[in-house]
Every structure is written in structure tokens, then in C-alpha cells.
Amino acid sequence: MTTDAPSTSQGFADVNGARLWYETAGSGPALVMLHGHLLDSGQWDGQLAELAGERRVVRYDTRGFGRSDMPAAPFSYADDLRALLGVLGIERAALMGCSGGGATVIDFALAHPEMASALVLVGSAMSGFQHTGEVPPKLAAVRQAQARGDVDGAVELGLEIWTDGERRRPDQVNAVARERTREMMRGLFSRPDVEAEARWLDPPAAGRLGEIGVPVLAIVGGDDLAAIHDIARTIEADVPNARRVVIPDAAHHPNMEHPAEFNELVRSFLREVAAG
């Protein structure tokens, strides 16, 4: 635990035609954190100061999330990350990404291996990964609620899927984390729709994990979706230097539900990487 909160700086960066909000704290080797694609950089409220005790920590709102805008033009999340690192003068960094942010981190590490020192993948997605089975009914219901403009209904369904999981009732979940997730998800679902094609790595990351040459920590909540667990197991099996950790009693955003446990996992992993 840190004793004094490190000073932070915030700003906007013009990146590939978009304006991205970012925040930095601490000093030392860089750690860049990419939020999941249901939230915004507020996902890392419990990590920024804690991990900045030993690192220069950066979080930012991905294009189309939080305070960042979404121009109506094709784009690549990984290209945005590369450009933001250039703006911030970061040549190499440890990268931590959740869900869609994890997919971005994997793509980036494959496209720019010299710029990644380690990866922390939290309930990660993966470009090109083929999910088996049917789409869970509640996911379809979220899309239907959004289509008819029922933001509150879509958010509540999203919380049941991604925060509660199939096993837990809402009252069994960290209440602070659940409400913070609701706030960020509602902000996302309330944004106006913008037609902008997101372009992923080609060929995609699935099938190329053996090319990742840096240490990887794959963290997954015990109550996350089966498909997310499948990806975490694939990462563990196919990346040469990867290990998987399951945090019990947590779903898609374990860093929010169990921040102390999560922070210690990440801190210990990054210390091991630094020690070689």
C-alpha cells in the first residue's frame, strides 16, 4: 500500500484524428492500463495510485469511451495506443488490458514486440478467437434494450452478465464496484451512436500467441463467462511464458471487486519481470 498519493497529471492527446483523455501518475518504468469496452478509464480508480508507487502509470479513455471522442472513420485501437505512447514519450511499457483492452494489448504486443515488456490480461478478449456455443440470451437482450432506447434496462442486464455472473445475486457482489460499473456503463450506453469501423490485427492474434516473447499474466474472475475462461486457458497454453490466475468471487472486472488482491498480484508479477 502506498502512504502518500502520488501527484497526477491529466490531458488530451490528438491521436490519429481522435482526441483521447489520459492521466499519468508516478515515475519509473511505464505501466499503461487499458480499460474494458463496457467501461472507461475509471475502471482503474483502485490501481492508479497504488501501482504508481513503483511505476509511471498511465490510464486513458479509449476512443469512443469516457472523455475521448469517436470520429466517424475507420481506426485501430492498437494504432491509437502506439500513437499515444509516442505523445507521452514512452518507448517501452508493461501493458495491462481488460476485455477489449486486453485484445488491444495482445494485438499491440504482436505488432510492436519491441515496445512491450510484459502483459497483464484481465478477462481478456482476443482478435480472431472463435467462441463455441450460442450467444447467452441476456447478451441478446442487452442489444435489444439498446435498440429500443432502454438505457437503464440494458445497463441492468449488463450488470447481471458481467458483474454478477450466473451464480451470484446482486446483493452478493461488491456493492461499490457494482454501482461504479453501473455509472460507467450507463455513460457508454448513453453516448450517441457513431459508425466507425474498428480494425484489428491481420492476421489476427488467435493462432499467433506463440509469437509473444514477454511474460504474460492472465487474470480471470471465477464468475466470468465461460468464453472468457476459454481465452485465459488458451493464453496460458499457447504463450511461452504465461501463467493464469483465477480470482474467486469475482466476474469480468476483478480489479474493481477485489482491488487489494488484484494489486498485489500485479505488483508481484511486475517485480518478477523487472528482476529478470
The string of pLDDT tens digits covering residues 40-57 is 999 999 999 999 999 999
Tell how strand 93-98 and strand 56-60 pair up: unpaired
Asked if pLDDT for residue 211 goes beyond 60, the answer is: yes
The per-residue pLDDT for 1 is 45
As a whole number of angstroms, the distance between CA 58 and CA 174 comes to 26
The string of pLDDT tens digits covering residues 65-88 is 999 999 999 999 999 999 999 999
How large is the average pLDDT for residues 198-210? Answer: 97
Residue 32 vs residues 61, 77, 162: alpha-carbon distances, Å: 12, 14, 23
The one-letter code for the residue type at 151 is V
The per-residue pLDDT for 4 is 66
Whose CA is closest to 161, among 227, 210, 115, 106?
227
Asked if pLDDT for residue 237 goes beyond 50, the answer is: yes
Q: Is residue 191 within 8 Å of residue 155, measured between CB atoms?
A: no
- pTM flag (> 0.75): yes
As a whole number of angstroms, the distance between CA 270 and CA 109 comes to 16
Q: Is residue 103 within 8 Å of residue 206, measured between CB atoms?
A: no
Asked if pLDDT for residue 34 goes beyond 50, the answer is: yes
How large is the average pLDDT for residues 170-193? Answer: 96
Asked if pLDDT for residue 2 goes beyond 50, the answer is: no
The string of pLDDT tens digits covering residues 135-144 is 778 888 999 9
The per-residue pLDDT for 129 is 96
Confidence bin at 166 (pLDDT 50/70/90): confident
The one-letter code for the residue type at 192 is P
Residue 185 vs residues 61, 85, 128, 142, 190: alpha-carbon distances, Å: 13, 26, 25, 12, 8
Q: Is residue 38 within 8 Å of residue 185, measured between CB atoms?
A: yes
The per-residue pLDDT for 7 is 81
As a whole number of angstroms, the distance between CA 252 and CA 221 comes to 6
The per-residue pLDDT for 276 is 81
CA trace torsion 249, 255, 260, 261 (10° rounding) = 50
The per-residue pLDDT for 110 is 98
| CATH fold of the domain at 8-132+195-275 | Rossmann fold (3.40.50)
As a whole number of angstroms, the distance between CA 143 and CA 149 comes to 10
Q: What is the DSSP letter of 75?
A: B
As a whole number of angstroms, the distance between CA 217 and CA 239 comes to 10
Q: Largest Cα–Cα distance in the chain?
A: 53
Q: What's the whole-number average pLDDT of the chain?
A: 95
Lowest-confidence segment of 16-30, 122-136, 155-169, 227-241 by average pLDDT: 122-136
236 or 276, which is more confident? 236
Q: Is residue 127 within 8 Å of residue 121, measured between CB atoms?
A: no
Residue 30 vs residues 52, 198, 211, 261: alpha-carbon distances, Å: 9, 26, 22, 21
Q: Where are the domains of the chain?
A: 8-132+195-275
Residue 26, SS3?
coil
